[in-house]
Amino acid sequence: MSHSPLRSLSEHACFGGVQGFFEQQSREIGLPMRAAVYLPPQAQKGPVPALLYLAGLTCNEETFPIKAGAQRVAAELGLALIAPDTSPRGPEAEGVPGATASWDFGIGAGFYLDATEAPWATHWRMESWLMNELLPAATAQMPIDGTRMGIFGHSMGGHGALTLALRHPGRFASLSALAPISAPSQCAWGEKAFGGYLGPDRVTWLAHDASALMRSQKTAPYPAGILVDQGLADKFLADQLLPEQLEAACKAVGQPLTLRRHAGYDHGYYFIQSFVGDHLAHHARSLLPG
């Protein structure tokens, strides 16, 4: 499928590389969508591997570049970082159900899937935008090696990273997550989102539930291992995130999983800052030679 080009909105020098912000007229969503791309200094000499980072509820494309502090490590390792917005928004989205008419923080709850139910199905097609438009445009326009790409995310974005990695086998070479919604069909956040976007048939939800998808695997999809970090002071841990469900699913299919539980850490970006370097290093082991 053809895709629209990424239009540059701004560029900023950062750790010897460039932090850029872009807009794409999405045919899948029918609205302009935004994304941030960090190119490390190594990209000046040729294509580099990339990580797709998916953010959580209430975030937009600026949240991760501003708050996570990942560019320093990405520059050291030679990794590009792609961080899309989390849902349709902006002045063109005025009147679209669930979207906001400004580029400030809005609902941000796309859940990285393609909605099938009215009134969401027309514009809430996050999976197709990412896979069919954003990533192809980024790899076509920028010095990014599309054959060496990892995926990770936080909270709702952790759910997105896990599910997209399992739904698109072979597309991503490495996978990790920070405080992911691990079993959305079994928690209130997921029930609300899936019920609205996918309808009342809970069987259809399982195609977007990381723990259910993992249990359906015949062999370990990531034999080099999956890294998940979880704060034990996270107020959403017991009722919404359910990492024990993913842990059990990985064990059932022989998928290596490093699930690290950290005392004192909550759900926010101080937690992400503390461990994002470990996640970039985890991906680098699969994406970089040697």
Q: Which residues are catalytic?
A: 155, 234, 267
Cβ pair 53, 80 in contact under 8 A: no
Residue identified by tokens 């600026």 is: 62
Distances in Å between the Cα of 113 and the Cα atoms of 99, 105, 192, 286 are 15, 20, 14, 26
Give the C-alpha separation, 100 to 88, whole Å: 8
Give the C-alpha separation, 204 to 183, whole Å: 14
Q: How many helices (H) and strands (E) does the chain have?
A: 10, 9
Among the listed residues 179, 57, 195, 49, the one whose alpha carbon sits nearest the alpha carbon of residue 116: 195
161 sits in which H/E element? helix 156-167
DSSP-derived letter for residue 221 is S
Among the listed residues 290, 288, 280, 289, the one whose alpha carbon sits nearest the alpha carbon of residue 49: 288
100 in helix, strand or coil? strand
Taking the CA of residue 71 as centre, how many other CA atoms within 13 Å lie in the half-sphere pointing to its CB? 21
- Phi/psi at 165 (nearest 5 deg)? -65, -40
